[in-house]
Chains A and B, each alone.
Chain A
Amino acid sequence: MSVDFCGLELSHPIINASGTFDLLAADTAFGASLRAEFPFAAFVSKTITLAPRAGNPPPRLWESPAGLVNSIGLPNKGLAGYLAHDLPALSSLLAEVDAPLITNVMGATAAEIARLLEVCQAQMQIAAVELNVSCPNVKTGLDIGADPKQLEAVVREVRSRLAKPLIVKLTPNTADVATCAAAAEAGGADAVSLINTLRAMALAPAGHSESPWLGGGTGGLSGPAIRPVALAQVAAVASRVSIPVVGMGGVQSARHAQDLLDVGATLVAVGTQSFRDPLAGRRVALGLAAAGPKSPVSLRASL
């Protein structure tokens, strides 16, 4: 089941979706059993920004039909805090389980992103960088990743700062995700990953004031509810670009992962299902291995 992904040799094709697994908290909760049954072939960090972020005010969660709306707001210690506190612990744990570290970063401007990539380039414990482009442009207010022209320009401007693989995490909240993926590729991305959460909202339940429930106003929908959307978007992107695709969205089983692989994904990420079952990634990987190598179906050609 080993997979080559942008030059990284992974033991299987299952990784975590950024922001759905905190390795250090999991270490506190699970200790030795986390190492003994490590769920992922590579580990993707939460989104790191230049400055620390507290995240959104609670409530941050809303359970919806077969899914979850979250409005977490990317809390993180900032780049300096990540390097000083998290990176040493993350890399020593990941060395024990032989899984590379992919650091997810987000910046509001090309200059901010360039700075984040430079610092990641200098850290040998970081194997690759995933760029979260679901960040509003400070001037236009439009998500950087939602506008193909802007996305291509930003990726092109920052690309030279990172010699390691650069994965662009696309936003699904756009008119044409395949065009955005092609723009990321044209700008120099080594891979794209999708789908991020779908923009969503919930009103307070009866008995509360009539206002948005989530402290952040709106949030992102994840879980099985978005799985068919993910499949369609991953299929569209994989048939458009020639770089590897990381597919994700509502994956709960090996069958769901195989669907994404069948439409052209190279890796599959497990996200919300890890909240229900922290071993979900491992179960999916074992399920894929048990099913055996699949004869290559050239679905990509037919899509």
Chain B
Amino acid sequence: MRPQAPIARRALTVVGMQELGAYRVLRLADPDGPAPAPGQFSMLAAVQRWGGGEDERPHVPRAFSIARWQEGEDGMEAHYLLEDVGPGTQRLCELRAGEEVWVLGPLGQGFTPPDEGRRALLVGGGVGIAPLAILQDLLLQHSGTPATSTGAEGRRDLAAPTGVALLGFRDGAHAEGAALLQNVRIATDDGAVGHHGLVTDLLARELDEDPEAVVYACGPAPMLEAVRAMCAEREVPARLALESGMACGFGACFGCVVPTKDGYLRVCVEGPVIDAARLAHVDAHAGAPA
């Protein structure tokens, strides 16, 4: 059974806010929260001044993948990867240590681990790398592989048997987000770091070498669609963490649906991670504003 959230939101204290290139990493002390499964998310809202930004927003909380769950100085900490793209994310990016955030979570259906003996290929794009970090932490723990940081352009011989991550970014500032993971291979749109091109170019190479791998992907819709199509063609299992604008995060509002082969699916309760085989196509985020 997946980890469940307490129905009561928790007012959690910000213990850190670090810049990571174009992103920020928000660290919240969560001493009493349930341990999340990789791929689960939380609904976040600043306790103070949630509202009154651009267009008198935000009003509803915002959904964020849990990027990391680890021991901190005062118990467990949850980390979230933020990018300022709207009034909600802007307010969260302004938070400083000591301020409080309402957290409802962990929510949703996370990643299921690969079958024994199959290698996990992590494919991320932009801020979508967040759930892959906590997934990689778990895979590395379970495989017993020592953590080996390879920096920007990982060499193949250093890659762990599980947990290799292929990450795509717009430019160098965004590519700094890759520091969240280990054993990374990077592609950038402008060629500033790593492969000049798409992360799916890297994925094609990996799948050529290891057609038995299982793909775990999260990122912008066009990337996920390319991953879905490639995996469908090669009959590689793929688990996609979808993004969709949400008002509630627990199945109440029916606002976050995406079309599947058998009707609409609520990303918040049936996802965010779903089997790529259920989708005919990954549509652009059907969502509320950020």
Query: Within residues 211 to 247 of chain B, which ones have a CB less than 8 A from any CB in chain A?
Result: 244-247
* B252 close to A20 (CB less than 8 A): yes
Query: A66-B56, A275-B252 are known contacts; what are 18 more A-B pairs with Cβ within 8 Å?
Result: A22-B250, A22-B252, A29-B107, A29-B249, A30-B6, A30-B7, A32-B4, A55-B264, A58-B258, A58-B286, A58-B287, A64-B59, A68-B60, A70-B253, A72-B255, A75-B254, A275-B247, A277-B9
Q: Of B102, B251, B257, which contacts A60 at CB under 8 A?
A: B257
Q: How far is the CA of A75 from the CA of B58 in the complex (A)?
A: 26
The reply to whether the CB of B289 lies closer than 8 angstroms to some CB of chain A is: yes
Q: Inside 8 A of A29's CB, which chain B residues have their CB?
A: 4-5, 107, 249-251, 269
Q: Of A37, A64, A215, which contacts B7 at CB under 8 A?
A: A37
**A51-69 to B contact mask, C-beta < 8 Å, 1/0:** 0001101111111111110
* B257 close to A25 (CB less than 8 A): no
Size bin of chain A's contact surface: 35 or more
Provide the main secondary structure of the chain A interface.
Answer: loop
Chain B residue at smallest Cβ distance from A65 = B56
* A34 close to B248 (CB less than 8 A): no
B contact residues, total (Cβ < 8 Å): 43
Q: How far is the CA of A64 from the CA of B256 in the complex (A)?
A: 17
* A59 close to B57 (CB less than 8 A): no
**B105-144 to A contact mask, C-beta < 8 Å, 1/0:** 0010000000000000000000000000000000000000
Chain A residue at smallest Cβ distance from B246 = A61
Query: Within residues 236 to 289 of chain A, which ones have a CB less than 8 A from any CB in chain B?
Result: 272, 274-279
* B253 close to A62 (CB less than 8 A): no
Q: How many A-B residue pairs have CB under 8 A?
A: 138
* B7 close to A205 (CB less than 8 A): no
Q: Of A26, A64, A70, which contacts B251 at CB under 8 A?
A: A26
Q: Of A30, A54, A63, A68, which contacts B250 at CB under 8 A?
A: A30
Smallest Cβ distance from B44 to chain A, in angstroms? Answer: 11
Q: Inside 8 A of A58's CB, which chain B residues have their CB?
A: 244, 257-259, 264, 283, 286-287
Known contacts: A33-B8, A59-B245. The answer to whether A223 contacts B59 by CB under 8 A is yes
Footprint of B on A, CB under 8 Å?
19-22, 24-26, 28-34, 37, 39, 54-55, 57-68, 70, 72, 75, 205, 215, 223-224, 272, 274-279
Q: Inside 8 A of B259's CB, which chain A residues have their CB?
A: 57-58
Smallest Cβ distance from A34 to chain B, in angstroms? Answer: 5
The reply to whether the CB of B146 lies closer than 8 angstroms to some CB of chain A is: no
